[in-house]
Each structure stands twice: as C-alpha cells, then as structure tokens.
C-alpha cells in the first residue's frame, strides 16, 4: 500500500485507445491497494497545433494569452482520462493546475513553481477518487493561468508527488528507463536499475532525453524518488534517488551524447585584456547559450576563440558576431555544424583519478580527434566529429566496463542508419 | 460612445482568417469610440469533436468531466481572438467563464446563471482593454466548471451585457437578422427592423433558429436590447427589445416553421377517466417532450389520441408506448414523420379577432389539409404535411400582408430544393 503519482506523456495519451490503456494501468495500480494520482500531458501533437493557430493570428502572440491557449491541451486529456477511468468503474476527478494548487510566479511561458497546495487532491484521495492532474500549468498570484515551459508536465508530477508526500513519482514514457548509453547507438548499453540525482542531472544536461532536467532538479531538492518506466510494458525501469544501493559505486554511470550543438571559431583575435569578455557578453546579451569555450595559446599576439552553442542559437550568434568581429579587429569567423558532444558521467569519478587520461587514450588509439574538452567534478565531455560520435560512445562504453552481456536486440544499426540518427534535425 | 457586447458564434471564428476578421470588426467598433466586450463560441466543429473523443473513452461520460472537457473549446477561441486583437495594436485580455464572474448553479451540462460578477471585466474596460469572454461556461458554488448547454454562448453574451450595464448586446451570426419568414422558403420575406421579446420568443419556440430562446428570455427579464446581425456584412440587423417603435402594430409579426417534429397517434383508446394522464405521464417520465396534443371525439367508447414531439424523442416515445398501449388496451400505434408545424406569431393578434378563421380559410382554399392546431394568445400553429409547408408559409405570408416588394434574391429555390431543405436531418 503506497501513495503513487503516475505521469503519462503526450505519446501515451495520443488517442482514445491509448487513454483507455492508461486508465487500465492506473486502475491496476489502485487494485493493488495503492492510492494513485495521475498527471497528464496534452494529447500527441496538440501543443504544436495550438502554437500553429496562434502564429496564424499573431506573429508575436502575448505570452499571457499563449499560456491560456496552451493550457487547454492538458485540460482536454485530463477530462478524457478521468472519463476513461470512470468507464472502468472507478471514481476519478480531474484537476486543472489551479485546482491542483500549483502556484507559480508570474513568468508566463516558463513559470516557476512557488508553492503546492495539496488540500483538494488529498480530499479527493481520501474520498476514494483517482485524481487526474493537468500537467504543465499553474496559476500565478493574480489568478492568471501560467505554463511551466516545454516538458513541464514532468515537473508538475514531481511537484505534486512532493506536495502530497507520495512514496514515489512514476514517469511513464515510450522508453523503459535510463540506459548507460543510447541503445540505438550502443547495442551493449545496459538499463540502469538506479541512478543518483546528480548523475541523472549530468546525463540530462549532456543530451540524455529521458527525463526533464528541471524535474530531476526539483526531485533532488525535495528528495522525491522518480521511477522512469515504459508506458507500454510492466517491466521495472530506472529509479532516480539520492543514494544508490550498490555495494561499490561504478566510476562511470553512463555515457551521453548530444548532436544538437555547433562549434563557432573566431580566428585571429588580438590577445588583449577584455576581448573575451566583450565577445561573450555580447553573445549573452543576444540570448546565445554558450556551452564549451576554448581559447588557444597566443601566437604573435593573436589567438583563436572557439565555443559551442545549441544549433538553434546559431542565427543569433552569427548576427552578434557579424557586429563584434570587426569591432575587436579579429580576422574571421568559421562555423562547424558537424560536431557531437560525448560525455562520461559518474559521481564515482570524483574519487577515481585517471578517467580523462583513459578516455583520451581510448579515443586517440582509435584515431578519433578531440576538438574540445570540458569537465565538471562528475562529468567529462569531449567534442568530436559528428561522424565519429557513435564509435566514440561504443569505445568508451567498452573501455569503462559498462558493456552488458546482452545485446540490445532492437537496434543493430548500420553505419548509415547511425549517421542518419545523428543528423541534425533542423 | 456606447458600451457594447459583441457575440460571435462558432462559424464566425472557425479559422484563423475568420478570427482576424472578427478582430478587425471589434477594433472598428472600438475606433468609433465605443467600449467593447467580445463573447465567443468554440471554433467551428470543436464541440462536436470533443464530444466524439469523450464517447470513445466512455459511453456515458460523467457530466462534471464533460463540462471540463467542452469548456476548453471556448477557451481556445477566446485566447486566439485576444491575440488577433493585439496583432492589430489594441490591448485585449481573455476571460474564462470563471474570470468573467459567470456564477451558475451546479447542474452540469445545463447550468443556470445565478449571478454575474462584473468587477474584473469592468476593470479591464477601464484600463483600455477589449475583454474577450469565453461563452457557454461558468463556475458553480464549489468552483467547478459548468456549461450552460448547447447554444449557451448567446446567454453568456446577454448575461455579460446585463452584468456590465451595456447599452446593447450585438449577436453576430451567418444570417443578417430576423425575417418575417425563412427567406429560403419565402422569397418575399422581409427583414424585421425590430421585434418584441414576446414575439421573438414565440418565433424561436416555433422553429426560427436565429437566436437562442433562453438568451431572449434572459434579455426580456433584464431588459437587455439585442441586435441580431450578420458577421459578414455591416448592414443593420434586427433589434429585439421591449416595445417596438412602430406607429401601428402589425397583427402578425412573422411566420415560423419547424420540420423537426413527428406526429404519433394511438388509435382505439378506451374513452375512460385517467387514460390520457397515464399515457402522458409515462411519456414525460421517459423524457419525451410532447408539443401539441389532439384527442378526437369519442365514437363507440373509443377515441384516438395524437401528439407531436421532436423527432429526436421518437425512439423513447416508441419504447414507452410499446409498454403503455397494451396496458390501456388501445388498438394500435401509428407514426407520421412527414409533418411540419407552421406558426403565425404576433403580439397584435391579442387585439385582432379572426386571425384563425383567415388562416384556416387561406389554407383550405388552397387544399392544404390541417392535421392539428394549437394556439397561445400571440401564436397560432397548424400542423400540415411536410410537402405542403413551404406553400403554406408563402400563402399565409401573402394573406397577412407581410410580403415585401423586393424579392429575396439569393433563394429562389425549386420545389426539389425546398423539399431537400425540409427533409428531416436524422
């Protein structure tokens, strides 16, 4: 007997048939003797369709109205899921973000949760209902509808779990947990039984898309245990929690990769005080999120400055640098869009020297050139040519002893298929 | 300078392009120096689509969840319309039923408005905004979302107009006002400049679909002037108000027709006390709305009882009578689905004797058989064969001096086209 929050994403509720399946799972959890609260995203592509309508009436829609528009998507799925549960003979009651007591600040489109008022949900649970909460939304102090930003439903689920003191927050999706590497690239990847918050945050930040980083941060802060699992099977997934129960901590938990960034290089930059500051404050001022920054040693008073940033920020970066490069009297700008970031993540890295040396040696022996490096206490990231990323992931996975004996069956991809998967989706 | 409520139906907001047109009209009203409040329905077929989704997850969906589901339709159009207004450089702010202060009783799916709290809308108007209110919805005393029933957006508009003390409530639709008869059947029909609440109510009750009866009742009760007009032209429509300004009141204001009813006859009913009561209480108990009731004089201790009811109630009527007919020892049941009700409406009828005689004579001279008759102080309805309905409307329109000199150009229909229009849409 436990108190469980179950969150289902847009794919899991995309059709009446899938909604009925979700209702079946929730009722099964209830029948096992648990108290259950569901959190849902909007059906399938609803949010995209609503954004399309908005763009058709206003090229720059006011965020307050945008939030009111988008929040209807989750309100449709919450009501339908509640109906589907009632069709199975169990009592259900849907809750908007407002009714679920999700209080946020007033920053429309990316509101932050400031408080969770749990009274109405607790009353519904006590009365025997399965509450169904619309994810992604809340209200601000003025009573206006806000949304939490893309993927905010995971955050709603964790916030509700914390608010009602749930034993666990189950996040159902179309993957069955967190893997030591993307099994589509790395056939020997292992599903992790558990992972710490810190490792999960670094994995998410380094490109693993299973859980929203923000939801994991919230879970870490308030010590909410997450169970990431499949919406389409009963198999156990991956538990995300403070301390792992393993006898000996692995040095490396997993390897993430990210092909969504590009590398920008400014060549022939005069090596003078304040030049780098000028470049990066101009970029920040134009909303360019720079990730890694590399500055070569100076030769003849000139140096090269490189940085990586999300491909989606590239137009703004180019616009900014077209102005800044002449101002700082640098020679030229070059852009490399065919890069990938490969990251080793592991809390155990802190107490295990030699990780970087071993990683560099592994890649070097296999003629994989490292274009840039960045590190945190529990992460080592290298930038490589995009075409070598899959090989880099597999080599490092083997070198750090992560390989499973089983081969991930679904995905023995050819080199071409891997290249296609790694192609930037712009 | 006036305070105006403008209500737009689902057809008028069915696409981004139409929403932009509605925004243009609202802004034009504002530029004329008026304060403007918009009320909107859901876009096009949205409500039907949502009902389809609900039916696919639960054959008997709980009304509370149904209300939550359906209310999202108007919330999408309110946000999009507010965005479209802002795109024209004017400030707009959307309001859900809750935010617009529409307080209802707790009868889900057909809630009644109990109070209108106008503060937030008045504040928005004073701050220079064009408030955009979601029609069809409110909240009950528990803070739960309710809906007002089909066509409830007209009622929302009148309620808001009353709540804020508007000078007029403009209801925009795809027809340009109230006509003395349906111009599709009667080419000499005249658009009425004005009509009294009582006449409008009788016209609406007798089949004229321009305005929702309930909205007109609300308007009469609180003396809200309605202007029914076209969403697609600037022409003046029809004003619905307490007293008409005409020098001399016409005896007949208009002629309505209704092909949505069927006639049911129970033959060979023993003429005994309590039999009719038994029949009609059984029908009422099974939610059959009987309209006209006709009982023939008794012959040999047996009589026939006929009644008309909406075609949509026929399955329940048949189910009820299959049980009741044997119980009362009646002979048989017969059903006539090819009927139409034609109604003369006019407050002036009260002080003008001879209307019925003239109507019967007109129809009789033209070999149109009258199957049933019912009357109110300001209405005379006859049931005729469906195939003769259009002719009956035209003959009565001429006989009572309603013909316009102009011929309604768009609709010189052939006999086949009229028959098609009159065909029951089941």
**Do the Cβ atoms of B80 and B38 come closer than 8 Å?**
no
Alpha-carbon gap: A164 to the closest alpha carbon of chain B (Å): 21
From CA B345, how far away is CA B378, in angstroms rounded?
Answer: 6
Q: Is the Cα torsion angle A386, A389, A390, A391 positive or negative in sign?
A: positive
From CA B173, how far away is CA B154, in angstroms rounded?
Answer: 11
Q: Nearest Cβ partner of A83 from B23, B58, B99?
A: B58
Query: Which residue bears the tokens 């029909």?
Result: B189
Alpha-carbon gap: B213 to the closest alpha carbon of chain A (Å): 30
Residues A392-415: tens digit of each pLDDT: 999 999 999 999 877 765 544 555
Q: Nearest Cβ partner of A83 from B19, B62, B84?
A: B62
Which residues of chain B make contact with A93, given a CB cutoff of 8 A?
64
**Do the Cβ atoms of B79 and B43 come closer than 8 Å?**
no
From CA B294, how far away is CA B375, in angstroms rounded?
Answer: 12
From CA A408, how far away is CA B57, in angstroms rounded?
Answer: 36
Say if A58 is an interface residue toward chain B (CB within 8 Å). yes
Cβ of A62 within 8 Å of Cβ of B82? The answer is yes
Q: What is the pLDDT of residue B408?
A: 60
**Do the Cβ atoms of A78 and B68 come closer than 8 Å?**
yes
Delimiting residues of CATH 3.30.2130.10 domain(s) in chain A: 244-426
Instruction: Record the tokens describing residue B66, joined without a space.
Output: 């149904």
Which residues of chain A make contact with B131, given a CB cutoff of 8 A?
none
Say if A78 is an interface residue toward chain B (CB within 8 Å). yes
Q: What is the pLDDT of residue A208?
A: 85
Overall average pLDDT of the A90-119 stretch? 94
In this structure, are strands A254-258 and A293-295 parallel, antiparallel, or unpaired?
unpaired
Q: What is the pLDDT of residue B7?
A: 98
Residues B83-113: tens digit of each pLDDT: 999 999 999 999 999 999 999 999 999 899 9
Alpha-carbon gap: A87 to the closest alpha carbon of chain B (Å): 5
From CA A403, how far away is CA A405, in angstroms rounded?
Answer: 7
Alpha-carbon gap: A233 to the closest alpha carbon of chain B (Å): 21
Cβ of A83 within 8 Å of Cβ of B61? The answer is yes
From CA A182, how far away is CA A422, in angstroms rounded?
Answer: 12
From CA A343, how far away is CA A381, in angstroms rounded?
Answer: 4
Helix, strand, coil % over all residues of chain B, rounded to 5:
40, 25, 35
Residue A194's Cβ-count burial label (10 Å; 0-12, 13-18, 19+) is buried
Q: What is the pLDDT of residue A404?
A: 86
- B contact test, residue of A62, A94, A129 with most B CBs within 10 A: A62
Cβ of B94 within 8 Å of Cβ of A65? The answer is yes
Alpha-carbon gap: A139 to the closest alpha carbon of chain B (Å): 13
Overall average pLDDT of the A188-200 stretch? 93
User: From A13, which residue of chain B is nearest by alpha-carbon distance?
Assistant: B57
Q: Nearest Cβ partner of B57 from A61, A87, A94?
A: A87
Say if B87 is an interface residue toward chain A (CB within 8 Å). yes
Alpha-carbon gap: B324 to the closest alpha carbon of chain A (Å): 33
Alpha-carbon gap: B118 to the closest alpha carbon of chain A (Å): 16
- A contact test, residue of B8, B65, B71 with most A CBs within 10 A: B65
**Do the Cβ atoms of B41 and B97 come closer than 8 Å?**
no
The residues of chain B scoring below 70 in pLDDT are 244-249, 407-426
pTM, two decimal places: 0.84
Cβ of A86 within 8 Å of Cβ of B69? The answer is no
Tell me, what's the ipTM?
0.81
Cβ of B16 within 8 Å of Cβ of A56? The answer is yes
Say if A61 is an interface residue toward chain B (CB within 8 Å). yes
Alpha-carbon gap: B102 to the closest alpha carbon of chain A (Å): 16
Delimiting residues of CATH 3.40.1160.10 domain(s) in chain A: 3-174
Q: Please give the mean pLDDT across all residues of chain A.
A: 90
Cβ of A58 within 8 Å of Cβ of B99? The answer is no
CATH class label, B246-426: alpha beta
| More reliable by pLDDT, A242 or A135 | A135
**Do the Cβ atoms of B385 and B336 come closer than 8 Å?**
no
The torsion region of residue B136 among left (phi > 0), alpha (psi -120 to 50) and beta comes to left
In this structure, are strands A332-336 and A261-270 parallel, antiparallel, or unpaired?
antiparallel
Cβ of A86 within 8 Å of Cβ of B54? The answer is no
Local confidence band at A104 (pLDDT 50, 70, 90 cut-offs): very high
Question: Any idea what the Cα angle at residue A218 is, between residues A80 and A133, rounded to 5°?
Answer: 15
Looking at B246-400, which runs of residues are DSSP E strands?
254-258, 261-270, 293-295, 302-310, 332-336, 339-345, 372-376, 379-385
Q: What is the pLDDT of residue B249?
A: 66
Say if B14 is an interface residue toward chain A (CB within 8 Å). no
Q: Decide: helix, strand or coil at residue B113.
A: strand
Chain pair A-B, CB pairs under 8 angstroms: 106
Q: Decide: helix, strand or coil at residue B193.
A: coil
What CATH superfamily classification does A244-426 receive?
Answer: VC0802-like (3.30.2130.10)
Cβ of A16 within 8 Å of Cβ of B56? The answer is yes
In this structure, are strands A102-104 and B379-385 parallel, antiparallel, or unpaired?
unpaired
Q: Is the Cα torsion angle A249, A251, A255, A261 positive or negative in sign?
A: positive
Residues A362-383: tens digit of each pLDDT: 999 999 999 888 888 889 999 9
Cβ of A84 within 8 Å of Cβ of B19? The answer is no
Instruction: Record the tokens describing residue A183, joined without a space.
Output: 């099994």
How far from chain centre, in Å, is Cα B61?
A: 26
**Do the Cβ atoms of B253 and B180 come closer than 8 Å?**
yes
Q: Nearest Cβ partner of B57 from A53, A65, A84?
A: A84
Q: What is the percent of chain B where pLDDT is above 90?
A: 74
Residues A314-353: tens digit of each pLDDT: 999 999 999 999 999 999 999 999 999 999 999 888 887 8
**Do the Cβ atoms of B387 and B371 come closer than 8 Å?**
no
Residue B168's Cβ-count burial label (10 Å; 0-12, 13-18, 19+) is middle
Q: Decide: helix, strand or coil at residue B89.
A: coil
Delimiting residues of CATH 3.30.2130.10 domain(s) in chain B: 246-426
CATH of A3-174, one of 3.40.50.300, 3.40.50.720, 3.40.605.10, 3.40.1160.10: 3.40.1160.10
**Do the Cβ atoms of A121 and A95 come closer than 8 Å?**
yes
């Amino acid at each position: 007997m436990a108190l469980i929050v179950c969150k289902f994403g847009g794919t899991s509720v995309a059709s009446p048939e899938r909604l009925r399946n979700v209702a079946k799972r929730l009722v099964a959890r209830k029948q096992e003797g648990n108290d259950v609260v569901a959190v849902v995203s909007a059906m399938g592509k609803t949010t995209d369709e609503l954004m399309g309508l908005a763009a058709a009436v206003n090229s720059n829609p006011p965020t307050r109205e945008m939030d009111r528009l988008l929040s209807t998507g989750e309100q449709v799925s919450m009501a339908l899921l509640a109906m589907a549960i009632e069709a199975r003979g169990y009592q259900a009651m849907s809750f908007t973000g407002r009714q679920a007591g999700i209080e946020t600040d007033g920053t429309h489109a990316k509101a932050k949760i400031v408080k969770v008022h749990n009274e109405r949900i607790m009353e519904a649970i006590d009365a025997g209902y399965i509450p169904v909460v619309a994810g992604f939304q809340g209200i601000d102090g003025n009573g206006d509808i806000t949304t939490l930003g893309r993927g905010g439903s995971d955050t709603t689920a964790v916030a509700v779990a914390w608010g009602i003191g749930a034993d666990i927050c189950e996040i159902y999706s179309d993957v069955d947990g967190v893997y030591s590497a993307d099994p589509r690239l790395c056939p020997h990847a292992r599903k992790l039984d558990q992972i710490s918050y810190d490792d999960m945050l670094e994995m998410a930040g380094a490109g693993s898309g299973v859980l929203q980083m923000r939801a994991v941060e919230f879970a870490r802060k308030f010590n909410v245990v997450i169970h990431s699992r499949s919406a389409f099977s009963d198999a156990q997934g991956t538990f995300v929690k403070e301390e792992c129960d393993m006898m000996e901590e692995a040095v490396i938990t997993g390897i993430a990769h990210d092909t969504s960034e590009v590398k920008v290089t400014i060549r022939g930059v005069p090596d003078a005080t304040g030049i780098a500051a000028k470049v990066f404050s101009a970029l920040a001022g134009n909303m360019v999120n720079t990730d890694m920054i590399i500055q070569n040693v100076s030769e003849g008073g000139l140096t090269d400055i490189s940085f990586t940033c999300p491909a989606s920020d590239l137009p703004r970066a180019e616009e900014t640098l077209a102005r800044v490069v002449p101002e700082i009297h640098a020679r030229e700008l070059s852009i490399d869009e065919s890069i990938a970031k490969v990251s080793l993540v592991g809390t155990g890295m802190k107490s295990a020297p030699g990780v970087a040396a071993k990683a560099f040696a592994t890649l070097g022996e296999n003629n994989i050139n490292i274009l840039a490096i960045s590190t945190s206490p529990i992460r080592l990231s290298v930038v490589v040519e995009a075409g070598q990323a899959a090989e880099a992931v597999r080599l490092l996975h083997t070198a750090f002893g992560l390989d499973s004996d089983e081969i991930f069956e679904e995905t023995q991809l050819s080199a071409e298929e891997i290249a296609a998967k790694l192609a930037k989706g712009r």
